[in-house]
Structure 1
Amino acid sequence: MIKFIQNLFGSSTAPEASLSVLGVDMHSHILPGLDDGADTLERSLELVQVMQELGYRKLIMTPHIMSDFYRNTPEGIRERLEVLKIAVKDAGIQMELDCAAEHYLDEGFLDKLENGEELLTFGDKYLLFETSFLNEPLNLREAIFKMRTFGYKPVLAHPERYTYFYGKFDELVALRDYGVLFQPNLNSLTGYYSPAARQVAEKLIDAGMVDFLGSDAHSLKHTNSLQKVLGCKYLQKALELPLLNNQL
């Protein structure tokens, strides 16, 4: 891993930060053919290989579950996981693989909660969820309350990317006080999504309001950008927080 970083930046300027410190990525779309991530098994293998080169030892892959677009099920996700595990082993890639899901907060998600249907979690019942990027759901706090009532630990995916929170950082603070854990995307630290997303991600790190860091990798374009994250000063600052990635 050190050699990999030195090749990127030169031995005299190589940053101390490394994604190997995280060890575990808990948000990606690497499982093949399930959503807007990897579309083939071959592409999944390429992504797993690159993630290994970046220093990860374990990937918890999280396909979208959305009632109107990606109607994935726990059974279907686990089936793709087993297919990828076999392919990774056959390719001689050393990587531990697991799965969960990124649940979109819609009526279907709430129905699953209320009906006691299985929701794919990771670690200690951590439940990764997302919302619309533009409009705050009217039932956001109700959904969080229900998640916690049923024993889940809600983790908001990429909180820095929701434009309805821009200029309202106090509302993110309130959500965290309400029991929500935060998982910014690593690529936000380079301004990959937008300058505003980068600003919020940095503010979350400054405030110590980061519990997980995720790649949210969908493609090689995302993993190529992750290489640039290694040179960000805010990565080192984030890695000094009590992150939970390595406990998974």
Structure 2
Amino acid sequence: MGFWSNLFGGSKNDQPAYLDQLAWVGWDIHNHILPGIDDGSPSVEDSITLINGLKALGIHNCVSTPHVMAGVHNNTPETIKGAHGKLTEHLKANAVDFKLNFSAEYMIDDQIDQWIQADRLCLIADKYMLIEMSYLSESKALFNVIRDIQDRGYQPILAHPERYNYYHNNFRIFEEIKQAGCYLQLNLLSISKYYGENVKTCALTLIRAGMYDFVGTDMHHTRHLEALKTVVTKYDTQELLKGNPIKNPKLFESEREKRIA
């Protein structure tokens, strides 16, 4: 049957190759599916499209992480909670089975120190703080920010380190970031050429070194969704990352254990 299906295009009942290929992830910890709050989903309707796409890929739980970026995306815990509430209400009203939490992706800029010192943060699982840098130039404050987050008792996660082009010829910096106690999060699209050949090379180098702690889709729009479908059809992402201590599936286990205790 397999031979003839391949030869003639298969039956109409054949499932798409990407179906449930990311079920192993458990929780997507990096995406921009909250409506009208940053450069991600512009509306509830678009958010639902992206959520249905995640579900098709096998992801039924996510932490949405809108940008907090001074002068560009001036989000606060209140604006993020409001967008989350709006989308959650729509999910419930339409009986969409999807677990949606919220956090934020914090740019290392002139404002981040104020957020940390005031302890007005949207954290992942009440513990993790997702941070990013500009793609144009390295932030000299990175290690200070890592320390400040840790001093608050939280765990920093650096988003998509493979996308910082200024680090591509300095693998030692990734080791130093890890040694400082900061986790690294891979964008799943980075293992393809979606962001360019150099990003792919860097991502695969970090994967081979077992450097990643989390993965995320970083989904903003349907172009990302369609690209993800192609990537997971081409690559066995779970097998590719088996040498990395990926923590997504057990993200909320410690919180569950605390409630039981």
TM-score w.r.t. the length of structure 2 is 0.86
Are 2:84 and 1:84 aligned?
Answer: no
Equivalent AA in structure 1 for residue 95 of structure 2: G
Equivalent AA in structure 1 for residue 210 of structure 2: G
Deviations 1:224-245 (Å, cap 9, x if unpaired)? 1111221225552214533111
1:56 corresponding residue in structure 2: 59
1:45-194 → structure 2 map (5 Å cutoff) = 45-114=48-117, 116-123=118-125, 125-194=127-196
Q: Is the 8 A contact 1:34 1:63 kept in 2?
A: yes
Task: Give the share of equivalent positions with the same residue, in percent.
Answer: 33
The structural deviation recorded for 1:138 is 1.7
Equivalent AA in structure 1 for residue 16 of structure 2: L
Q: How far apart are the structure 2 equivalents of 1:185 and 1:139?
A: 23
Equivalent AA in structure 2 for residue 8 of structure 1: P
The structural deviation recorded for 1:24 is 0.8
Unaligned segments of structure 1, at least 5 residues: 1-5
Q: What secondary structure sits across from 1:187 in the alignment? A: helix
Q: What secondary structure sits across from 2:33 in the alignment? A: coil
Over 3 Å counting, the alpha-carbon distance change for 1:144 and 1:127 in structure 2 is same
Deviations 1:132-163 (Å, cap 9, x if unpaired)? 11211121111111111111211000000001
Pick from 222, 227, 230 the counterpart of residue 229 of structure 2: 227
Q: How far apart are the structure 2 equivalents of 1:73 and 1:26?
A: 19
Q: How far apart are the structure 2 equivalents of 1:97 and 1:194?
A: 31
Are 2:44 and 1:36 aligned?
Answer: no
Over 3 Å counting, the alpha-carbon distance change for 1:176 and 1:198 in structure 2 is same
Are 2:214 and 1:212 aligned?
Answer: yes
Q: What secondary structure sits across from 1:183 in the alignment? A: strand
Over 3 Å counting, the alpha-carbon distance change for 1:239 and 1:18 in structure 2 is farther
Deviations 1:203-224 (Å, cap 9, x if unpaired)? 1110110100000000011011
2:250 corresponding residue in structure 1: 247
Deviations 1:70-97 (Å, cap 9, x if unpaired)? 1111111111111111111222321100
- Which has the higher Rg, Structure 1 or Structure 2? 2
Are 2:10 and 1:7 aligned?
Answer: no
The structural deviation recorded for 1:126 is 0.6
Q: How far apart are the structure 2 equivalents of 1:94 and 1:18?
A: 18
Q: What secondary structure sits across from 1:156 in the alignment? A: strand
Equivalent AA in structure 1 for residue 81 of structure 2: R
Q: What secondary structure sits across from 1:103 in the alignment? A: strand
Q: How far apart are the structure 2 equivalents of 1:34 and 1:48?
A: 16
TM-score w.r.t. the length of structure 1 is 0.91
